[in-house]
Structure 1
Amino acid sequence: MPDHQGNPWRVRVAILLLISIAVGVVWVTNSLLTERFTESTRNRAQVRMTLYAGNLISELQRASIVPQLLARDPTLIGALNSQDYSQSSQRLISYIDEIGAASLLLLDNTGRVVAASDRNLIGANHRSDAYFINAVRSNDTIFTVTKDDNGAIMFTYSRKMEYAGSPIGVIVVEVDLKQFQNSWAGISDAVFVSNSEGEILLATEPAWRGLHEEEALQLRSPSAAIQRSIQTTTDWVSLTTTANLLGSGVMRQEARIPFQGWKMTSFTTYASVRQRVNGVLALEIMGFAILLALTFFFLSRKAQVQSRFFQRESAELRQLNQRLQREIAEREKAEKSLQVAEQTLAQSSKLAALGEMSAAVSHELNQPLAAMKTYLAGARLLLRRKRPEEAVSSFQRIDDLIERMGAITKQLKSYARKGGDAFAPLDIRDAVNSALSMMEPQLKRRHVEITKTMPREAVMVLGDRVRVEQVIINLF
């Protein structure tokens, strides 16, 4: 079986390496695509600004011709000379759709509106307005930017009307430039047009109109598409920003409009850049995730195979263990049977030895019994002769003989008893003395003289007293 101890470490290193490669690839891809898509977005924004500026100039140039044509209109000149304006307003209304102007006004020499495409304006006096004053003072068409009473910015072309070299009125054409900012509002860019003084004239954000750029960017509540784009876009990376709008980096671009020092400024979000980059990164991450999932799948399959192998090995080991346990149980049973047999054999040996010693013990007991009989007869005689002191001495000798016989029978009974299995502390000197007392009658019969040399201190051992005495007896 191969060594599996190093496999977990190799697997972890491989997974970490795969994750590191994935992070590196995602990072490099993110950086390269961000740079590429940012440049592409910048180019598209520049093209849009060029198109917007061209449309704006085209509209201004087209509208600049209208006052010159209307100033020569014989119907309008006749109305100013005759002061009969009954058909003049209808005449102006008929021109609205043709020329695409926001409104047309016909003013007399006093600045009073005598005819208008919007009849509600008839009767109003504009003698103090710049487009009337400048037109009266000039022989050319005058472009003027003014604010009405509601703060709305108006873009007008005005021109003095003459008859026979004398001024008779002023024709005013309001240019419809708001149509452009309405079309600009449909994209994610924020666009505004400012004059030479930096005042914003047209803007996709209504709140910016009439302000300067710095003031407009400080507003916190723009409501157009630029805000929605910034709020809903997740910034994956740090992008090169050229301006800040609502605390978010945007791409600021500027283009000159060849008209009275105007310029167009756009703020382009990185929404499209992020979306395109995130799309590619999502595919890469998905690919690495699938690769990582496949890696874990194969590792799982391998782990399952190893698990089944280990289970088989474990089952075999359990079976082997069970066999060993059965063998151990059988051996323990055999050992117990052997111990019982040994104990039985030892008991039989003791009984055999006991039979051998019984003759010597009976001889030893017969002598005290004969002596006791003699002492009793002597004591009876002494008592009859009224000599009790001497009789007591005989009784004392009989008592000593009884104690000796008790010691002999006690040793015999102790030797015949089956020893236990429990060990206990004992003095080996007592065991030697007890064995010698047991063997004393047999030794005397054999005329054996015993010399004992015992230590003064106790010699303690841990064992069975009966077995120890048996060992000592077997030495004789």
Structure 2
Amino acid sequence: MVLLTQLWAENLFFEQTRTRAAAKLDLYASNLSGALGKYQSVPKLLALHGDVVELFLAPDDPAMRARGNQLTETVNRLTGAEDTYFMDAEGMTFAASNWGSELPFVGHNFSFRPYFQQAMQGRLGRYFALGTTSGKRGYYFASQVSDGGEILGAVVVKVSLDEIEHGWTAGEEEDVIVTDPHGVIFISSRAEWRYRTLAPLDAEERQAIAENRRYESVDLRPLDLELRSRAGGLQLLTVDGQAAGAPSREYVMVTKEMPEAGWTLHVLASTTLAYSQTVTAMVVAALASALVLLIALVVLQRRARLVERIEYQRRASEELERRVEERTADLRRAQDDLVQAGKLAALGQMSAALSHEFNQPLAAIRSYADNAQLLIERNREAEACSNLGRIKDLTTRMADISKHLMTFARKPRSELRPVRLAEVLDDTLDFLRTRLERAGAEVSVDQPDRGLTVRAGRVRLQHVILNLVANALDAMKDQAAPRMEFALRAAGGRVTVTLRDHGPGIAEAELGQIFDPFFTTKEVGEGLGLGLSISYNIVKDFDGVLRAENHPEGGAVFTIELPLLSARAAAKTALKEPA
């Protein structure tokens, strides 16, 4: 009777132990997947960003490297990643978030790492290893950076696993380990198990590990353990004490493969409670055999305890489901917060742009209104009506500018229509006539072909030319007779609009950042540094390029380059301003 009770109790309590361990296994797997999932898309997004591609085009430029270091450091601070770094096509790191530390990644070649090799093949690189430079464990995500089909390198984000492991403190009832494909323990709730193996490594496995340098300078010794199976597929693991005199520990082991991460998760549930419950059952059975009169009471008691354990398991399962749902909700809220933060940042930039770009039209309206008042007083109503018409046109243009600035971040390509450059330039110079006359400026226009047509937004293109002329006037404000020259040319299916002024030019150190938002060389209060940044993005929206350089004979030269629209294509669409 006692032996039968032992067999039954052991099977029951070991199975309950495995059930509890399996529930914990799902929880730990969800925690790991969630911790890594929030970083998975970061290198992809960075690889697609225009500023990042620009850095990869000139990895040897000290200024570009400095910008790359600042950018990776900012990404690290915002995402919470351990390290972010840029590698060129040869695997050499040219910018890293830890550039200011004692052991920076800059200048190190990590082409031997599988995540870099995967990224170079156009896949999302995934790998976990011990850092060869920092000596810290991490999980790596890498994404390829390319430009026009040319592979430039890879963006890499390293995620620290220490915080996850810190939450897995070793306990009396269970331990957690994560192993790689070779059975090496990479993450463990017990520090003494870290970098130990579940089985001795053969020469081929050690060679594979050495080639990828996953565990640099680490002695990968096997744990002293024994694995055996019980009925029902139950796996029992016995681990000898690592310290002198420490007792061995026996566990029920449940495992789960995580193929995307490339590792296996193990939950080791201690059998101490199961054996204790088994001994209790045996004692009860012995007493029941000796005390036949108390058998009924013992059975009822055991059934009550069984119901209690089942209820405990049910509550544990419900608690697990509740935590998973809360975790999912937290992740969704975090994603919504990031989207909303982006919208608010864009709204702030648009508000600043509206204030910056309305100053000139408002000044013109004030001037026309004053003139109209004087003309009415002198009974020159026809001329006054003409001024009022110009005020109406200016308010219409202000409304168009406001509309385009608010929709600037959405790249409204559907509004692009055929536009004649000569007409846009004539209208813009006519609009600026008062300011040009007041400054005593001389403007020459060289346009042999007035029929050159491009696909663009008329008002936004006028806005770009207006910004360039205004900046040229500001650069020559100390000259008695400022001069500027426009030139329109077509070649190779492209049209260029060139504006040269005769001012002091642009400092060489500022040419690389002149189109950055909020960069300005003007005095405080004279500008926000948004005009050229907005103009650059407007031209980019037209599939064009805005460049700045210095003229050999002095002064600055700004060039707008746009695709030329053929006469046949232009004839298919009416030449009118977008609504």
TM-score range, shorter chain: 0.3 to 0.5
Q: Which has the higher helix share?
A: 1
**Is the radius of gyration larger for structure 1 or structure 2?**
1
TM-score (norm 1): 0.43
- Point out the structure with the larger strand share: 2
